[in-house]
Amino acid sequence: MSAQTGRRAAHRPRQERIDDILSAARSVFSQKDYESASMAEIAALVGVSEAAIYRYFESKRHLLLCVIREWYLDMIKENREKIAGVQGVRARVQLLIWQHLKTIRDASDLCRLFYAEVRSRPDYVGSELHALNREATGLLTAEIEKGIAAGMLRLDIPVRLVRDLVFGGIEHHVAAFLAGRGSLDCDALSNALTRLVFDGLQPPGAGSASIAQTVERLERVAARLEGALGPRPA
């Protein structure tokens, strides 16, 4: 880093410098991994000294958590904006599922970091990122509750179980993609999961269907979901 570059960086607005550091950290963490990435490497990418980074972030882990935090805040903001103009519970649920899949597809680097370095740690539950994760998934939970209230979904299925069905199913079936094997079809998966929820969890007697017909429909939807998702990872 030249003296002139260092002087320019030192005179930039505080938030702009923080944003540059976060962007550089995400790039370095993604290209390597958390353990292999160094603060010196991040500083060099920004064009500042390593000591300058510690003025804003107390440690490498603090920097990682801030990178993930900004990602979550942007994700939640975008999801709220997207569903605000969509009519119908089913349509909003499908959009939220699609958005979640798109996030995994487009930000697979941060997903891997989150699973490996944040969620697996004992200090995750009760943390700020845990709260942000609950806020993000809570958007879907709120729509599921509206579907139950409107008689679209069964009353005897816990809302949290439906939420876990969606996000747990996604997590299981994107494992291969996150490991670098295969692609991720957001349209096919969001369509299949939405059908699984709304067609498979209809109240008994909905429309002219009997309970047996409802079970049969659920089995058909589950079979289509498996076909759309492809082979499960070992």
Q: What is the mean pLDDT of the chain?
A: 87
CB atoms within 10 A of CB 98: 18
Instruction: Give the closest residue to 39 by CA, choosing from 9, 12, 62.
Output: 62
**Quick one: how many helices (H) and strands (E) in the chain?**
12, 0
User: How far apart are alpha carbons 65 and 76 in whole angstroms?
Assistant: 16
Residue 9 has pLDDT above 80, yes or no: no
Per the model's pLDDT, the better-predicted residue between 9 and 121 turns out to be 121
**Considering only 1-5, 14-18, 67-71, 74-78, which range has the smallest mean pLDDT?**
1-5
Which two three-digit tokens encode residue 183? 């692609």
Question: What are the structural domains, with CATH classification, of the chain?
Answer: 3-53 (1.10.10.60), 68-229 (1.10.357.10)
User: How far apart are alpha carbons 175 and 181 in whole angstroms?
Assistant: 9
